[in-house]
Amino acid sequence: MDEEILVFFWRNHLIPRRFETTQNQAVEILDYGIPSIDSGPDFVNVKIRIDGQIWVGAVEMHIKSKDWYVHNHNQDPAFRNVILHVVSEDDKPVVNQHGELIPTLVYQPPTKFLELYRNLIYSKGKVKCDKYLKLIPSYITTGWLDNLLIERLEQRAKQIINDYKNAQSDWEQVFFQQLSRALGMRVNSLPMESLARLIPYRVLRRYTDQIQVLEAILFGKAGFLQQAFSEQYPQKLKQLFAVYRRKYDLEPMEVSIWKFMRLRPYNFPTIRIAQLAAILSKTDHLFSLILESELKELIQIFSASASQYWDTHFRFDIPAQNMPKVIGKSMRQGLIINAVAPVLFAYGRMVSEQKYVDKAIQFLQSVKFESNYVTRLFKKLQIKQSNAADSQALVQLYTHYCQRQRCLDCRLASYILTDELSKAN
């Protein structure tokens, strides 16, 4: 049995309020407290009555009581406030730093619970509880997805705020990086983000009225202008980059980091870089734009088309059928989901402006749900997906709970497990 199971029972108030310790002390739980967010005991602010006397402190849990010493809790000041030790097997008396005996509760979860839990954990399904999802009330699922969306945005916000600190507190630079990453999609997201990190946005915004200069700097820095060309346009970009390379000390990236294999030509990094230049040519204040604009305005900005050369090319010096390379609807929505909303949310959290947090969520609720491996998986399981807020929540559920077998932390699995307990009782 895992220690997490004991934590689950205490967190969900499934351990009886009245019991006796191994020392035959009568105990009543007055308040189960809250999970600790630090590296100390499992629960804090717990209130219990032991033989008529009220104690307030922490609760720690182990499979065997001797684990208290294995983990050196008897020498750790963070555990000096433990007032109850909950274990499945009491194989050694436990004392605190002062040598005082800590009351111990031995608790064994019901066999039916353990059987169901093992069935979930060892299920071969991608979603461990797939057979039980239809039994979960819609309000449980909806509420959990709402929480998962915020959890996902909070995680992204931490990363973005860290980027903000590394970008000399420049939100324009941060959004430029996130926008570039989103344009790169899964395969070229990291190279695109690296490209944006290595080119100051304050440099590019000086040339918003000169698309060739924007392309020269971006393609040159990306490493695509190192070869000899037969066509006039890439020759011109190469000449321009030679000038701006010296001016801004732009050393080209290694071109081999860019991926073309198994990509549709419209997703080639050359096309995405050209479309990035097209977006940059529309404004010199990207971040300010997302703070002030409504969704329709942003969609219009992102409806950019790569310059004329790319109408007949997917790569330099290789002519192709004449087709304008406009950023498609799916990609425009992807930019809202993966760049605009996370940055708005992070900014709102950092400056304590709830209106930007709300705006980020509103944008996600206004965009169509994503079609990817995870959303298709849950669609087969008949989980309703109304918009991108739902699809982002499902991605969080799958990647941070299902794949990591965190059933005990998942509200859906918790409902299934506790429902089974109620039936058993």
Q: Show Cβ contacts of residue 108 under 8 Å, excluding neighbours closer than 6 positions.
A: 88
Tokens at 257, concatenated: 């980091």
| 184 in a structural domain | yes
Can you give the pLDDT at residue 97? 84
Q: Are residues 161 and 293 in the same domain?
A: no
Can you give the pLDDT at residue 343? 98
| 339 in a structural domain | no
The one-digit pLDDT tens for each residue of the chain (425 residues) are 789 999 999 999 999 999 999 999 999 999 999 999 888 999 999 999 999 999 999 999 999 999 999 999 988 989 999 999 999 999 999 998 888 899 999 999 998 899 999 989 888 889 999 999 988 999 999 999 999 999 999 999 999 999 999 999 999 999 999 999 999 999 999 999 999 999 999 999 999 999 999 999 999 999 999 999 999 999 999 999 999 999 999 999 999 999 999 999 999 999 999 999 999 999 999 999 999 999 999 999 999 999 999 999 999 999 999 999 999 999 999 999 999 999 999 999 999 999 999 999 999 999 999 999 999 999 999 898 899 999 999 999 999 999 999 999 999 999 999 987 776 56
The span from the CA of 238 to the CA of 245, in Å, is 10
Q: Show Cβ contacts of residue 313 under 8 Å, excluding neighbours closer than 6 positions.
A: 270, 319, 320
State how far Cα 202 lies from the chain centre: 29
Q: Are residues 93 and 196 in the same domain?
A: no
Can you give the pLDDT at residue 425? 60
Q: Are residues 249 and 153 in the same domain?
A: no
Look-up of token digits 């590296």 = 39
| 332 in a structural domain | no
Domain count, the chain: 3
Q: Are residues 314 and 412 in the same domain?
A: no
Pick the closest to residue 408 from 54, 155, 129 (CA basis).
129
Q: Are residues 83 and 185 in the same domain?
A: no
| 116 in a structural domain | no
| 117 in a structural domain | no
The span from the CA of 147 to the CA of 338, in Å, is 18
Tokens at 56, concatenated: 């307030």
The β-bridge relationship of strands 26-31 and 43-50 is antiparallel
Strands (E), 107-246: none
The β-bridge relationship of strands 53-64 and 82-89 is parallel
Pick the closest to residue 76 from 55, 60, 92 (CA basis).
60
Q: Are residues 187 and 312 in the same domain?
A: yes
The span from the CA of 178 to the CA of 279, in Å, is 13
Q: Are residues 303 and 247 in the same domain?
A: yes
| 337 in a structural domain | no
pTM of the model as a whole: 0.90
Q: Are residues 316 and 275 in the same domain?
A: yes
Q: Are residues 302 and 237 in the same domain?
A: yes
Q: Are residues 178 and 148 in the same domain?
A: no
| 309 in a structural domain | yes
Q: Are residues 18 and 150 in the same domain?
A: no
Q: Are residues 132 and 36 in the same domain?
A: no
Look-up of token digits 């346009």 = 233
Look up residue 98 and give its amino acid: H
3-class DSSP string for 97-137: CCCCECCEEECCCCHHHHHHHHHHHCCCCCCCCCCCHHHCC
The β-bridge relationship of strands 313-315 and 104-106 is unpaired
317: left (phi over 0), alpha (psi -120 to 50) or beta: left
Task: List the domain range (segments joined by +) for residue 244.
Answer: 174-327
Torsion sign over Cα 397, 126, 330, 181: positive
State how far Cα 23 lies from the chain centre: 46
